[in-house]
Amino acid sequence: MNSEILRTQPRREASDSSAAMPSAITSFIRFYLSLGAISGDRESVRVAKAQVMGSTSCSIVVALAFGLIYLWYHELAAGIVGISCGILMTANIMLFVLMHRKFEFAFTVNATLAFLGGLLASIALGGFANSSGLFMYALFFVVIGGRYSGLWFLMFLVYLVAALFLQPFPRDSINVPPFIVSLLWLINLSVASGVLLAMYRYAVDQRNHAYRLLRGEQERAENLLLNILPRDIATILKNEPHTIAEQFDCATVLFADVVNFTPMSAQMTPGELVELLNEVFSQFDILVDKYGLEKIKTIGDCYMVAAGVPRPRPDHAQALTRMALEMQACVAAREFHGHKLAFRMGLNSGPVVAGVIGRKKFSYDLWGDAVNTASRMESHGQGGAIQITRVTYELVKDDFICEPRGVITVKGKGEMEIWHVTGAKATMASAA
């Protein structure tokens, strides 16, 4: 058993090292291609600089290699042109990386060297056929020419026509054997097309990466907006921003407020107070989603939620009453940061106006007498009780246990009958 483990261990290590090798090479290539970029570059400029780094490096290798090959076969002029172009491109790319980082300057110098060097080599070798397709490397700079790509493509056509019409002038044959000329054609076509494909794939990958980042940012912005506004309202504001106000003939509004909040807050630090409210209101938010209701806002320790807006629903009063009972049970069953809480809750039903007003820091809000009355039900309520008006009582009395609490005097409303909701009836409980 141990011998088998020992035998397989080197294989596993070899496998790990072989897997790490491509990753290291890829990381090095990405690092090298990014050498010309600076922090303030736009994404398109970063891609263009990376393409310049890659295409120029390939052109340098080709220029030096072909220069040495032509010198080996005693083609002195073509050899000097190739080596000179390689050295000048190397110097230019080093200045680009180490000093100025100016894309257009580095690109223009290297593109000029590629076109001029290719043309001079073609003349020295006697034209198109003998030059073994050196013209292909000029396409690198056509592809990454940006807004000047049309001009560089025109220069490429001029270069190609000149190389074609130079044959067989000024010379008919060269010292390089025909087999080597054909082999160089194969190498040039393969390398040039491979580099062009790599440049294209790199540009596409960078574009797709940018699109993924953009989609991610859009989704985050969309989620943030939907945390502020109902989806229907957010859609309207995105498509055609304007003041939104809509009348709803029947909706139910709930206000919930922490009992004895002021003396309790005096004994807590601001951070502890915010954490407590965040914890309890986050639990309420879960219930809002559970019952498909609309959280309107929080004001200090007051929590406001509505049913029947922005989408009308026939069971608005029942749904919000069920949530109120579950809010009551949630608060009674646990402590929040070591504190036992109790809430006053008030509900009322009736017509409301809902919408978004203003130009900055807008929010979805409700207006109307029904809203004000719901707020009065909360402020005149008892700790731990769910207090409702007659309008809401008539809507929920068949589904919930409601205890009459007589008549109270409400500021701005006079005397009003009120009820306390104490639980769901058996049929409602079983349905839930």
The domain ranges of the chain are 17-213, 242-431
What global pTM score does this model have? 0.56
Amino acid identity, position 181: V
pLDDT tier for residue 5 given thresholds of 50, 70 and 90: very low
**Assigned fold of 242-431:** Alpha-Beta Plaits (3.30.70)
Q: Which residues have a Cβ under 8 Å from the Cβ of 181 and sit 6 or more positions away?
A: 129, 130, 132, 174
Report the pLDDT averaged over residues 91-101.
87
Burial (0-12, 13-18, 19+ Cβ within 10 Å), 416: middle
User: CA–CA separation, 48 vs 31, rounded Å?
Assistant: 15
- pLDDT tens, position by position, 193-250: 887 787 778 778 877 887 888 888 877 877 776 776 777 777 766 666 666 778 999 9
User: CA–CA separation, 281 vs 263, rounded Å?
Assistant: 19
**Can you tell me whether residue 221 is helix, strand or coil?**
helix
The one-character DSSP state at 389 is E
Looking at the predicted structure, is the pLDDT value of residue 17 above 70? Answer: no
- Give the pLDDT of residue 124: 84
- Give the pLDDT of residue 21: 53
pLDDT tier for residue 16 given thresholds of 50, 70 and 90: low
Looking at the predicted structure, is the pLDDT value of residue 409 above 50? Answer: yes
- pLDDT tens, position by position, 158-203: 877 777 776 655 566 788 898 988 998 898 888 888 877 877 787 7
215 is catalytic: no
Looking at the predicted structure, is the pLDDT value of residue 3 above 50? Answer: no
- pLDDT tens, position by position, 340-389: 889 999 999 999 998 887 767 678 889 999 999 999 999 998 888 999 99
The catalytic residue among 390, 411, 413, 425 is 411
User: CA–CA separation, 118 vs 125, rounded Å?
Assistant: 10
User: Are the C-beta atoms of residues 415 and 408 closer than 8 Å to each other?
Assistant: yes
Report the pLDDT averaged over residues 106-115.
84
Max mean pLDDT among 120-124, 208-212, 396-400 falls in 396-400
- pLDDT tens, position by position, 36-95: 888 878 877 887 788 788 878 888 888 899 899 999 999 999 999 999 999 999 998 899
The chain-wide mean pLDDT, for the chain, equals: 83
User: CA–CA separation, 72 vs 80, rounded Å?
Assistant: 11
Place of tokens 């005693």: 74
- pLDDT tens, position by position, 278-336: 999 999 999 999 999 999 999 989 999 999 998 899 999 999 999 999 999 999 888 88
The catalytic residue among 290, 376, 390, 413 is 376
CA-to-CA separations, 286 to 273, 312, 330, in angstroms, rounded:
20, 21, 11
397 is catalytic: no
- Give the pLDDT of residue 388: 95
